[in-house]
Amino acid sequence: MTMTSVPLQVLPEPALLIGAQRRTDSSGGEYDHVYAATGRRTVTVPVGGPSEIDEAVRAAAAAAPGWRATAPDRRRDLLLELARRIVDHAERLGMLQTVETAVPRRFATRLPQVAADFLTYCAGWADKDAGEVVRTWPAPALDYTLDEPYGVVAVIVPWNAPLPSIAQVLAPALAAGNTVVLKPPPLAPFTALAVAELALDAGIPPGVVNAVATGPEGGAALVGHAGVDKIHFTGSAATGQRVLGAAAANLTPVCLELGGKSAHVIFADADLRMAARQVLAGLVVNSGQMCVSGTRVLVQAAAYDEVLATLTKRLRHVSVGDPLLDATLMGPVISEEACRRILGVVERTVTAGEARLVTGGERLGGELGEGYFLPPTVLADIDHGSDLVQQEVFGPVLSLHRFDTEQDGLRLANATRYGLAAYVHTTDLRRAHRVAAGLVAGTVWVNGFPGVGPAVPFGGTRHSGFGRVGGRAGMREFSRPKNVWVSL
């Protein structure tokens, strides 16, 4: 099989966008972006350094008073216009997702609409959230709150799922009246630039959305910049800890959307075929490189063998390959380094006798040998304390565990340092609610996965972070109430 040639024309001209200026010179050097399905360079992109970060923060600060003073209905209309433009460019943006991170086309085509939905939802709040009147004593007095934007928000995003990751933060931040410095990593620099350019085209004033792709050095410069009023970080727990530490210097408020090790808790009374289908779907989308991937599969003893057999059979037949073909279910992982890291964890676990390798575990060769392709990998009878279970592997690797009672299942589900999401499969309504209440997770999905929509609060607990995107809670992350008391 020859890989479909990469449609480079969908990529924006590589640049940093600071204010209205497209910058191709930068102090952080250059980075050769690689298409993960072939391991070959696509284009070379400029990488921002501390000086471009400083310029971007200044541009965002200069634009902040004007954007804050923009009438809420005008802000609403501008966000709706940006959503419209994203939908108008859906074909190009969907293809761009595939070129950027090699997510298969059949999933990538849906992502522009997901991004547009976040913008549309938050645009609706722009002219509605207005603070509250507070009952006070001693009377007579009038006490009310004003919801005010923070000012400049640093939005640091990871390389995986760039369009949703950006839209779910950009939309509430802008709707609440903040300006933004978007910082994607050089691994995936294109979506942030494309969205920032569309924002300008939509009529959002220069400086309100800036895009500077940088590595860790630029990220650290942004987090430590005294001109940043709020940090929204999406990424790994390890980097999140560094961000939180660095933010302490200026006491900058932080919101952290971190990784997870989410569990599927499958009870014997569940629709087992449906449960297996959902486990599989969650694993193949983006090759397990999703924060909400349910990679710990906990199955009640009576159903364990059936679930293992069904999953293994189906996963062996998943079409892994060319992300640009509509028939492909699973593409490569992001890089050579990710390939080695993921296979290394699997090998160590099996060699230590901590698990039984049921399927997968070896890099795919032949026609896929130049890309970073791994097969879906299943490990059974695994020690729940092993690194593979306790760390986020961020690849197509499932571990299967057996439990007896409801309490055992719940205990096992909560036995990690993470707390992002959990999936429950049962036909017992009372049990569904009991288990949902007992799970330590920001989100629990019961008998289905509707995706992460704009109207629901999404975020983690423990090492999965704090703060929320989506819903009213997501809007509140980006404004702070000022209290006003007036003697009457």
Tell me which residues are annotated as active site.
257, 291
Residue 101 binds ligand NAD (CB under 6 A): no
Non-local (6+) Cβ contacts of 341 within 8 A are 395
Which of 86, 123, 174, 243 lies at the binding interface for ligand NAD (CB under 6 A)? 243
> What sign results for the dihedral spanned by CA atoms 225, 231, 234, 238?
positive
Residue 158 binds ligand NAD (CB under 6 A): yes
Residue 257 binds ligand NAD (CB under 6 A): yes
Residues 422 and 265 sit within 8 Å (Cβ to Cβ): yes
Which of 203, 216, 369, 451 lies at the binding interface for ligand NAD (CB under 6 A)? 216
Please give the DSSP secondary-structure letter assigned to residue 249: G
Report in angstroms how near the CB of residue 286 gets to ligand NAD at its nearest: 10
Count the residues of the shown chain that bind ligand NAD, applying the rule CB under 6 A: 30
Residues 98 and 147 sit within 8 Å (Cβ to Cβ): no
Report d(CA 105, CA 6) in Å as an integer: 12
Residue 50 binds ligand NAD (CB under 6 A): no
Which of 84, 106, 242, 277 lies at the binding interface for ligand NAD (CB under 6 A)? 242
Report d(CA 112, CA 167) in Å as an integer: 9
Which of 223, 272, 276, 279 lies at the binding interface for ligand NAD (CB under 6 A)? 223
Nearer Cβ to ligand NAD, position 81 or 392?
Answer: 392
Beta carbons within 10 angstroms of residue 440's beta carbon: 17
Residue 220 binds ligand NAD (CB under 6 A): yes
Residue 28 binds ligand NAD (CB under 6 A): no
H/E element holding 359? strand 356-359
Residue 181 binds ligand NAD (CB under 6 A): no
Non-local (6+) Cβ contacts of 407 within 8 A are none
Tell me the helices (H) and strands (E) count for the chain, helix number first: 16, 20
The residues with which 16 forms a beta bridge, in sequence order, are 23
CA atoms within 13 A on the CB side of 153: 28
Candidate ranges 23-31, 231-239, 405-413, 476-484; the one touching ligand NAD (CB under 6 A): 231-239
Which of 26, 191, 210, 234 lies at the binding interface for ligand NAD (CB under 6 A)? 234
Nearer Cβ to ligand NAD, position 331 or 460?
Answer: 460
Residue 215 binds ligand NAD (CB under 6 A): yes
Task: Give the pairing of strands 40-46 and 30-35.
Answer: antiparallel
Report in angstroms how near the CB of residue 316 gets to ligand NAD at its nearest: 26
Residue 160 binds ligand NAD (CB under 6 A): yes
Phi-psi category of residue 210: left, alpha or beta, with phi > 0 → left and psi -120 to 50 → alpha: beta
Nearer Cβ to ligand NAD, position 202 or 297?
Answer: 297
Nearer Cβ to ligand NAD, position 331 or 409?
Answer: 331
Binding mask 446-475 for ligand NAD (x = CB under 6 A): --------------x---------------
Nearer Cβ to ligand NAD, position 178 or 295?
Answer: 295
Residues 277 and 264 sit within 8 Å (Cβ to Cβ): no
Q: Which residue has the tokens 């000022």?
A: 482
Which of 70, 97, 101, 239 lies at the binding interface for ligand NAD (CB under 6 A)? 239
The tokens describing 471, both together, are 């819903």
Residue 333's nearest CA partner among 287, 392, 294 is 287
Residues 162 and 101 sit within 8 Å (Cβ to Cβ): yes
Report in angstroms how near the CB of residue 395 gets to ligand NAD at its nearest: 11
Nearer Cβ to ligand NAD, position 187 or 272?
Answer: 187
Report d(CA 301, CA 176) in Å as an integer: 49
Candidate ranges 86-94, 139-147, 253-261, 376-384; the one touching ligand NAD (CB under 6 A): 253-261
Which of 53, 56, 291, 298 lies at the binding interface for ligand NAD (CB under 6 A)? 291
Report in angstroms how near the CB of residue 435 gets to ligand NAD at its nearest: 22
Amino acid identity, residue 274? M
Give one DSSP letter per residue of 377-404, joined into a string.
Answer: EEEES--TTSHHHHS---SSEEEEEEE-
Binding site for ligand NAD (CB under 6 A): 156-161, 165, 183-185, 215-216, 219-220, 223, 234-236, 239, 242-243, 257-260, 291, 392, 394, 420, 460
